Amino acid sequence: MKIKKKLFHGTSLEIPYIKFKKKKFGVICFYILLVLYVSIPFEGFIAPYGPNTKFKSKSYQPPHRIQLLHNDELIGPFVYEYEMVNPYFKKYMVNKNVIHKLGFFVKGEPYNLLFFIPTDIHLFGTVDGSPFYLFGADRLGRDLFSRIIYGAKISLTIGFFGALLSLFIGILLGGFSGYIGGMTDWFIMRTCETVILLPTFYLFLFLRAIMPTDISPALKFFYIMMILSVPGAFGGARYIRNWVLSLKNTDYVIAAKIGGISSLKIILKHIIPQIRNLIILNIMLGIPGFVLGETGLSFLNLGITEPSVSWGMLMNSAMDINILIQYPWILFPAIAIICTVFCFFIFGYAVKDALDPKAEV
Amino acid sequence: MQKPLLQVKNLTTQFFLIKQNITAVDGICFELSQGEILAIVGESGCGKSVTSLSIMNLIEPPGKISSESEVLFKNRNLLVLDEKTISSIRGSEIAMIFQEPSASFNLLFKIGYQIGESLRIHKQLKKDTALREAIELLKKVKISEADKRVHDYPFQLSGGMLQRVMIALALSCSPSLLVADEPTTALDVTIQAQILRLLKELSLNYNMAILYITHDLALIDGFANNVMIMYAGRILEYCGISEIYAKPLHPYTKDLLNSIPMMGYFKDEQILFSIKGSVPELVNLPPGCKYAPRCSEVFDRCHKQEPSLFNLENRKVRCWLYNKEKK
Amino acid sequence: MEEKKLLIVAKNLVKHYPVKASGFTFSDEKVHALNNISFSLDYKQTLGLVGESGCGKTTTGRVILRVIEPDQGRLYFDKEADEINRLEALESELNKEENLKKQKQYLKDIARIKRETDFFSYPYSKLRSERLKMQYIFQDPYMSLNPKMHINEIITENLIENRIIKKSERDKEAKKYLDIVGLSKDALYKYPHEFSGGQRQRINIARAIASNPKFIVCDEPVSSLDVSIQSQILNLLIQIQKEFNISYLFIAHNLAIVFYISDYVAIMYTGRIVEIATSKVIYHSPLHPYTKLLMSVSPKIGEKKDYMKLPFIGEVPSLINYPKGCTFYDRCPVHKNICSEEQPVLKKIVTEHRVACHVFS
């Protein structure tokens, strides 16, 4: 008989883990987020098209309706052809005579699976290669569903790494400041407070305005992430510093000092691990903020720009109310954003309650 | 024969935690007469604090007092009363003082106001009457310059003074029973003596019974009338104060007395006795007598079967050595 | 004039904490925590420091190890009597010298010798290596061990950081000390929260003796433990002293325990030592009124205390408004006029028994 080793057995995370498992919504959201993140390397597989594949003749085509019965015959999943009847207002009419069958694992555009395996099999699509729009098309005839899939990569990673980076800088700053104390502490804290006082939004705009425009998309991505995470780090620094201040006089820290342990080692081995739970929480509850921050910036065309895709950028096309009224499927990226942020919140608060020894199960 | 003030029958309190269930107090029975000072002595985990909270029905989930337990105070079972009735008893007829006086006061209100609060609620006094009463109470607990102290905030007072204020607060409605949970453990020896002297005086003058919980067996000499030794949620020994020092019966009591260094012991003259092992974890209690793993007078039956509390003229011992039936 | 080589000679320790008015400003008031404490300790000897809270005993323990830096004072650790005498002779020469140039020369010499002799003047590099010879056992078994570190790390951290042993030898060393304090090797990879208070205190002791110290400050090591465990730890400390030739500064507020374990006892009150003698001498013939007060209120088994007939006890005065006379004046049943004018100093009454009281001089 196989004896399964319980996860976290014997560690201080065991009871929080048991408590967390009882929170159904938290667990569900965790799995949803897990699926979202794990699917990032498979983005090319899941999306039927590349992020910039255009079909000029299908501009603003509404989402295909998946049919099963044609002339009362079950011929499997398929879609009808949509023909543009009004090129000015982009109106379409369904042509029930032309059928495009749908299938799984169809051949499509070539891409790199897991970023390095060249292949051209997609999860689903039309067998004959004609355009298939699950969520409709945008002005240039690009598949919105594929663009949402590719946009996930940017939004999710900026969210996660932005939060991580912000906390890392906060720990460095706050830990150093709190441990050294004295004038250094005073000086660093006043600097942090000054930065916090600056209106966040205008700070973002300013930092974005001074960004050089001719840098590569990868560098741009990194720059945007820095803009989002650095100002937040100063707020986190104050929080960390308060904890360091209260922890640096505990007996075991004094014992380490007596033993001749260096200050850096004390901060890393004795102080920071005590606030591990808080750090985890801060990251988790901070990620939605970063996702929304990137969304906001890109929505204003100040963040990720063409040719990269992010959810915020997709929202940018939804700015015009006329477009929204005529082609409402443009709003689908918003649903993706809301769902993701919502999941992070539910999951984050579930973890917070599980870690809190006094919160009821 | 006067009926006892407090009768505790079969008190069992359990805690239902995520990983395990703990029986903190297991079937305790004892009585307290009017004006009597009973000391409950035991180490950490023995259940003495849980006992005091259970008596006042202050156990919250995940803790639960067994439905078969009874706490008869002036012939009323406190465990079955509704919240309103028992709230009126708590603070007026039964009062409680705790170990950390600074934790029992609201730092935002003056102490005069906080003492007055109890008076206003239980005795329905008006604000100025309550203030005058508060000053009188502070004088009763020997706080100098009571009329000035009454306007102080808790953080302006020392630990010893705060403890006296807590006693004043407890006395405000002339309770017949005072439950004191280690009130002097955090205080210096000199202040400890003053507080004990105060409590003894108050008990004599107002015929107030005291349930005094402590871990210090030496402290209660000259203070308590009777003493009850608890271990792993059970009573091991119960007798009068002079007997426990002169003639302790239970091996645990004997071992405890032998392991406390007395004044006048020096390391090159006496060897300090150590009880081997440590206090058992409540989740892992052995079958049979709970003290058996550490007992120096243990024999076979001790490991197999737990002894009941045997009655011997005016004393009770939970030990097979004093089993009246012959084997 | 020192005559023989002693492990510790502490002279004129002073520590006054400034009272903070607000933020940066300090008021003129000071908390007079330590006022001219002097004592000495021989090898393999225990000096008990007893007094109530606020008397300065913990501060003394921390100042000796330079966890708190003293305002004034000298500490000679394991120094020959000649070295101490030489330094003090130089200083008295300096006081007599009037020539400025010669004064400067004296000052330079004195500073140089101080850096080699006076523990409080050791430069950081020398301090780090000397510190391992002095260790500290904390009162609170819960806060003195880092809850996120394994036991083997806790015990050997000092040794590895100071390059006394290699990381590969860690478990072997830790096991050696666990054996000495009576814990099994299963403890090596456990966390502190898996142990009881008494066991944690043993781990504390293991950590202290791991660096092979000659001197350990025991700061109320048994006050937070259950009564039945206290004697175990006391016996362990006595055994370790015999086996490893360690001297203790045993700080406690329980008179009986201090008398039991100490060779010499110093009674402290408001930052001064008011009486110092061997434990037996103080027990049999206490002289200072404060000592007599402490002994009368300490619980003794079998001697039924009549709480109604206790002497006047009074309260400890504030350390901020330090009176110019004896601090015990208000509570003293035998005070004389001179007691409120002049502070008494420790004077030898008989050999090995010194009291700071005008009644006895």
Per residue in C333-349, pLDDT (tens digit) is 888 888 888 888 888 87
pLDDT, position B219: 84
Q: With an 8 Å Cβ cutoff, is C242 touching chain B?
A: no
Q: Which of A195-199, B233-237, C298-302, C347-351 has the highest mean pLDDT?
A: B233-237
pLDDT, position B31: 92
Mark yes or no for CB contact B278/C303 under 8 Å: no
Higher pLDDT, B104 or B97: B97
pLDDT, position C89: 86
Considering CB atoms only, which of A252, A262, A276 is closest to C143? A252
Q: Which of A240-244, A277-281, C291-295 has the lowest mean pLDDT?
A: A277-281
Average pLDDT, chain C: 87
B1 pLDDT higher than 60: no
Going by pLDDT thresholds of 50, 70 and 90, the confidence category of residue B326 is: very low
Considering CB atoms only, which of A258, A261, A262 is closest to C136? A258
**Which chain A residues have any C-beta within 8 angstroms of a chain C C-beta?**
11-12, 250-252, 254-262, 265, 269-270, 273-274, 276
B292 pLDDT higher than 50: yes
Going by pLDDT thresholds of 50, 70 and 90, the confidence category of residue C247 is: very high
Q: Using a CB-CB distance cutoff of 8 angstroms, which residues of chain B are in contact with residue C226?
A: 43-44, 215, 278-279
Going by pLDDT thresholds of 50, 70 and 90, the confidence category of residue B228 is: very high
pLDDT, position B164: 87
Q: Which domains does chain B have, with CATH numbers?
A: 6-93+175-263+271-276 (3.40.50.300), 106-172 (no CATH)
Question: What is the C-alpha to C-alpha distance for residues C147 and C160, in angstroms, rounded to an integer?
Answer: 19
Q: With an 8 Å Cβ cutoff, is B60 touching chain A?
A: no
Going by pLDDT thresholds of 50, 70 and 90, the confidence category of residue A5 is: low
- Closest-CA residue in chain B for A358? B62
Give the gap in angstroms from C-alpha A10 to the nearest C-alpha of chain C: 9
Average pLDDT, chain B: 87
Q: Using a CB-CB distance cutoff of 8 angstroms, which residues of chain A are in contact with residue B19?
A: 14-15, 18
Mark yes or no for CB contact B222/C302 under 8 Å: no
Q: Using a CB-CB distance cutoff of 8 angstroms, which residues of chain B are in contact with residue A19?
A: 18
- Closest-CA residue in chain C for B195? C307
Percentage of chain C beyond pLDDT 70 is 97
C279 pLDDT higher than 50: yes
Mean pLDDT of C9-23: 82
Q: Which of B180-189, B276-285, C197-206 has the highest mean pLDDT?
A: C197-206
Burial class (CB in 10 A: 0-12, 13-18, 19+), A267: buried
- Residues β-bridged to residue A91: A86
Mean pLDDT of C34-43: 92
Going by pLDDT thresholds of 50, 70 and 90, the confidence category of residue C61 is: very high
Give the gap in angstroms from C-alpha C280 to the nearest C-alpha of chain B: 8
Going by pLDDT thresholds of 50, 70 and 90, the confidence category of residue B251 is: very high
Q: B208-224 burial, b if ≥16 CB within 10 A, otherwise e? A: bbbbbbbbbbbbbbbbb
* B304-320 residue pLDDT tens: 888 988 888 889 999 98
pLDDT, position C26: 64
Percentage of chain B beyond pLDDT 70 is 98
Q: Using a CB-CB distance cutoff of 8 angstroms, which residues of chain A are in contact with residue C134?
A: 258
* C120-160 residue pLDDT tens: 989 888 888 888 899 999 999 989 999 888 899 999 998 88
Mean pLDDT of A314-324: 83
Higher pLDDT, C360 or C119: C119
Helices then strands, each counted (H, E), chain C = 11, 11
Average pLDDT, chain A: 84
A1 pLDDT higher than 50: no
Q: Using a CB-CB distance cutoff of 8 angstroms, which residues of chain C are in contact with residue B272?
A: 231, 234-235, 260
Q: Using a CB-CB distance cutoff of 8 angstroms, which residues of chain B are in contact with residue A361?
A: 18
Whole-model pTM over 0.95: no
Mean pLDDT of B279-291: 86
- Closest-CA residue in chain C for A250? C143
Q: Which residues contact C29 (CB under 8 A, 6 or more apart)?
A: C18, C19, C320, C321
- Closest-CA residue in chain B for A22? B18
pLDDT, position A302: 81
B271 pLDDT higher than 80: yes
Mark yes or no for CB contact C143/A250 under 8 Å: yes
Question: What is the C-alpha to C-alpha distance for residues B169 and B157, in angstroms, rounded to an integer?
Answer: 15
